[in-house]
Chain A
Amino acid sequence: MRYSTFNQTNVNPLGEPMFFGNPVNVARYDQQRHSIFEKLIEKQLSFFWRPEEVDVSRDRVDFQAMTDSEKHIFISNLKYQTLLDSVQGRSPNIAFLPIVSLPELETWIETWSFSETIHSRSYTHILRNLFSDPGKIFDDIVINEHICKRATDISKYYDDLILHTQLWQIHGEGEVTVDGVTYDATVRNLKKKLYLTMNSVNALEAVRFYVSFACTFAFAEREMMEGNSKIIRLIARDENLHLTSTQHVINLWQYGDDDPEMKEIAAECRDEALAIFTSAVEQEKEWASYLFENGSMIGLNKEILCQYVEYIANMRMQAIGFEPQYKQNSNPLPWMNKYLVSDNVQVAPQESEISSYLVGQIDSEVSAGDFGDFDL
């Protein structure tokens, strides 16, 4: 089915499923099938922040005082987060927008992706401050084997859904052979790929950042890298909201509150979805081993970090209807919580290193000259 940027069929938005109904035509929010997504949009907009508002200049001294193993931990985590947000800044748009059918969800996807691009820009902001030439750090992201291994796992579900959607758009429903390979481009199969992709994104938002967050906040506990920590707190707040959105989508499907076929698929793919989650957990534990391969840092070691991943994973598996898979039911890093409380993260304007604060950006002084030759 060909995609149209303005589908002219008259559709009832209240009767459409989240995905694989009619393409969205009018971006209207007066009647919503799943109004939660507009609430998430409002929340995300209320969280808006800019990396430049956070002063990271004092971090440079802290960074120079770090041991080599701490530098490895810090920089590796930034590289990994850069990868995650590079993927997330584009993929929800590319994979989900062509198949979404509700205006409120379409706009949520765009808002979500946009917030990921802010995260990406913040890594450049952090790295520019630490290195006169951050180029080598970025270059390493696509050649570092520990990062690449994760990259494939993160992007493969997206890529597969995108490819099948493209084949379906061009060739229509059914099997299609391209360069000797036959693909199943039926809507049923596409929906299955969508379900798995959503579970993979959900696992990404749920656990993939937390090893890195824990290291950042462990530095902050020692009053080190506080500018960086402030940025990561803002990112963590956003990620928690993104996670809520994927949990909503998955639960709406599972409970049959959206597309009945997705309910069947959710039941059919339950084991596969669980495997996606547990493999993300295993990869994060491997990442913790890599981080600490040259030595640990004060307040953290590999074991405790792995326990934290399991603790977080248990909570997040239950949120989408899985039994908790790990024995870690208490929080091994209780100090993490205070960095994740949303009220604790406000960017104070006086801390900003630049003069244009967000709220000060609107110039209320209008002179006659601004109207040029505007005549009434």
Chain B
Amino acid sequence: MSDRNLLRVPTMAELTAEGKNPDILFWVGCAGSYDDRAKKITRSFVKILNSAGVNFGVLGSEESCTGDPAKRAGNEFLFQMQAMTNIEVLNAYDVKRVVTACPHCFNTIKNEYPKLGGNYEVIHHTQLLQDLIDQGKLTLEGGEYKGKRITFHDPCYLGRANDIYEAPRNLIKQMEGELLEMNSCKSDAMCCGAGGAQMFKEAENGDEEVFEARTKQAIDANPDIIATGCPFCNTMLTDGIKMKDLNDQIKVLDIAEIIVKANNL
């Protein structure tokens, strides 16, 4: 392992032991922690955080599922158990700001935790990346992505659920990628099929899978890259592209991954 692959990922427990309280907590999420594809996104994001000198911490083994899939599967009980346990941990560390690369975690912590006693400023990683640029801590170099045809798939829980459409698009534009919009985009974007706990079950009978339909729409925009900002969307669209045998022509990447490659971090 080369040096630059060494990530600095302090846990809240370590930081607290040193008497430190970081500026922001990076909520990694279950997909980002365990899913092989999503772990790459997590690493990419941390590389950017490290290079921009962001003072952050993670919960590590103290992090637990936000409860989103349980809640949306109808298990309010399990959701609230998870939520209250997490809130206890977050409050014990006196967390004020949370950033996450998962729109589901983002939505749950931002919108559903406050009424259970968890009040934090929660931002999506694309928003933090934009902040870093605005503060001059991160400069985007288009690199190999300059002029590349990039379409952005809006994750439901970032877009419609929380009205965030521009942060990821601005990042693509600043890398001088050619931003292509699918026919249905932003608030009209079609779901990838993973939300509402669908990720964890077989689909009901129908004509096709939701991810196939959405992948077709993405392909119709004729991109080199399908960018997204959600580990679940990433999985679904990657599957769709594989199914169409297009994995050599079209890459499905998270915005953070694109930045890492472009900036050669």
**Is A bound to B?**
no
A-to-B contact residues, CB < 8 Å: none
B-to-A contact residues, CB < 8 Å: none
